[in-house]
Structure 1
Amino acid sequence: MEPFDWTWVSQIAPDDLPDRITTYLAAHQTRDLDTAIAQYTPDAVVTDEGHDHDGPSAIRAWLARSATEYTYTTTLTAAYRADQHHFDVLHRLQGNFPGGVADLHYRFTLRDGHIARLVIEP
């Protein structure tokens, strides 16, 4: 998948995010792995901390590991839309991980109504 230029986005209300993204975010937060995985395409890729997790089994393992590694809360602080396929959701995480607070972009690429790519980065 080609890199996407995230500099051309418009802020939107979180309620204007596609249902697929809001369903995923809620499932991720409650650690509902089955619902979270159901939001992805079969060939989806998640990039977190510079590491790619390819396909449902690798994404499931990443979700399960991230759910147990640290205790943290997540607050959605802003949402952006670049086009009908690209959405950036800014979250503030607070918890017992190094540094204690992090503002992270969850950059979603949708294909055929499902999440094809998720890049999590500062």
Structure 2
Amino acid sequence: MPSHQPHTIAPSDLPETITRYLRAHHDHDTTTAAAAFTDDAAVTDDGRTYRGATAIEQWLNRSATEFTYTIELTDAQQIEPAHYVATHHLEGDFPGGSVDLRYQFSLRDDLIERLVIEP
């Protein structure tokens, strides 16, 4: 039996939870962004994993202020029914100056259970 094949979707077809998180993160609205996660969620960013609501909120607060950058959603894919990838192009004052990052989302009960951010 074949497994689900990733397929490109319009960014507007990403689940509402993901678009709400991305918009809130972009706007530095950490309260709204944190509310998109399950209580036991995990985020992996820059090689570090943050588990639980408190750690994720601290990560969101730090990532909102650490660097100044622009972010553009350039691609979206549905990997499986509850797994999505949103690719973003970032340019700013961080090391390297520009990067494409894959935000890999796993959803549970219409909330983000896991987020992995990597090139």
CA deviations on 1:86-114 (whole Å, 9 max, x unpaired) are 00000000000011000000000001110
Amino acid at match of 1:11: T
Shift, 1:36, TM fit: 0.5
Aligned to 2:55: 58
Paired residues for 1:1-122 under 5 Å: 8-122=5-119
The question of whether the paired residues in 1 share the 8 Å contact of 2:107 and 2:114 is answered with yes
Distance (whole Å) between structure 2 residues aligned to residue 13 and residue 32 of structure 1:
24
With normalisation by structure 1, the TM-score equals 0.93
Q: 1:75, 1:99 → 2: CA distance? A: 17
Segments of structure 1 that go 5 or more residues without pairing to the other structure are 1-6
CA RMSD of aligned residues (A): 1.1
Q: Render the CA deviation track for 1:21-64: whole Å, top value 9, x for unaligned.
A: 00000000001011001100000000001100001110111111
Shift of 1:84: 1.6
Report the Cα offset of residue 82 of structure 1.
1.1
Identity %: 53
Checking the alignment, whether the CA contact within 8 Å between 2:5 and 2:80 is kept in structure 1 is: no
Equivalent pairs counted in the alignment come to 116
Structure 2 alignment gaps of length 5 or more: none
How big is the shift at 1:74?
A: 0.4
